[in-house]
A = this chain, B = another copy of it.
Amino acid sequence: MLAALESVFEIIAEPNRRAILSLLVSSQRSVGEIECQLRMSQPTVSKHLRVLREAGFVESTVDAQRRLYRLKPEPLREVEAWLAPFRRLWSAHVDALERYLDRMDTSPPKKRKKKKR
């Protein structure tokens, strides 16, 4: 579980890790809080947190025996950056190429912002 896992996309491919990240949006949490809210075993939470920490998704501070984890933005911005070129697919403005491709579309109509077919 704590192996290579180089790419940020592989990190967020795991549903429990996404759940942890989403939980941390509202505020930082201790391992026990995450364990309780997401109904995962404590070692599982710790292992996922380790993966997330080593990938830069979260950081922790020590508070007595507890460790408080909170989000770090950088890796998710990588995802955002990769996603950027695809936004033209659903942006309101439809350029020439997309209109061309839409004309070739043989599948049943779907909700599109702009014209097609």
**CB-CB contacts below 8 Å: A35-90 with B:** 53, 59-64, 67-68, 70-74, 76-77, 79-80, 82-83, 85-90
CA distance A79 to B61 in the complex (A): 29
Question: Can you list 19 A-B pairs with a CB-CB distance of less than 8 A?
Answer: A9-B18, A25-B85, A27-B97, A28-B102, A53-B116, A60-B116, A60-B117, A62-B115, A62-B116, A62-B117, A63-B113, A67-B117, A68-B103, A70-B104, A72-B89, A73-B86, A73-B90, A76-B90, A79-B79
Interface of chain A, main secondary structure: mixed
Given contacts A28-B103, A28-B106, A63-B113, 20 further A-B contacts (CB under 8 A): A7-B13, A9-B18, A28-B105, A53-B116, A59-B105, A59-B107, A60-B117, A61-B104, A61-B115, A62-B113, A62-B114, A62-B115, A64-B109, A68-B103, A70-B103, A72-B89, A73-B89, A74-B110, A79-B83, A80-B83
* Residue pair A106, B22 in contact (C-beta under 8 Å): no
Instruction: Please classify how large the interface on chain A is, using the bins under 10, 10 to 19, 20 to 34, 35 or more.
Output: 35 or more
State the oligomeric state as a number of copies: 2
A112 near B: Cβ within 8 Å? Answer: yes
